[in-house]
Amino acid sequence: MVERGGGAILLISSAAGNRGCQGAIAYGVAKGAIPQFTRVLARELADSNIRVNCVSPGIIRTRFQEYLTAEQVANNIENRIPLHREGRPEDVAAALAALAENDFITGAEVPVDGGMAMRMV
């Protein structure tokens, strides 16, 4: 990227990296480090015109969510996600595409979580 005059690095964190999720200590810690890594790497690479950003998906309907019971899905939709619906992989892809295309965003973490990041509880 340095030789080409710049580029974009996109990283994937998780809402679990910003909120405590019971039973997911290692996952939460690893995902929680990614936004800080994003900021530090963005600063390190800015002089080379390399942008670094990350997205933090919330509850996205993928195979990762297949273990949830109907009651857990209902609780997520009714109580945890302000938009009252699960996200889709396309929602995450659209955020990543926007970060890849915009050449004036670097060091950002974009939550793709239906509003979960703004909730207090």
With bands split at pLDDT 50, 70 and 90, how would you rate the model's confidence at 121? low
pLDDT for 120 equals: 65
The pTM (predicted TM-score) of the whole model is: 0.90
Active-site residue flag, 27 = yes
Task: Name the average pLDDT for the chain.
Answer: 94
- In DSSP terms, 8 is beta-bridged to 51
The domain 7-113 having CATH identifier 3.40.1260.10: the answer here is no
Cβ density class 83-92: b for 16+ within 10 Å, e for less: eeebbeeebb
Dump pLDDT digits (tens) for 31-73: 999 999 999 999 999 999 999 999 999 999 999 888 889 999 9
Q: Which of 1, 27, 102, 115 is catalytic?
A: 27
Query: Are the beta carbons of 39 and 93 closer than 8 angstroms?
Result: no
| Per-residue three-class SS string for 29-71 | HHHHHHHHHHHHHHHHHHHHCEEEEEEEECCECCHHHCCCCHH
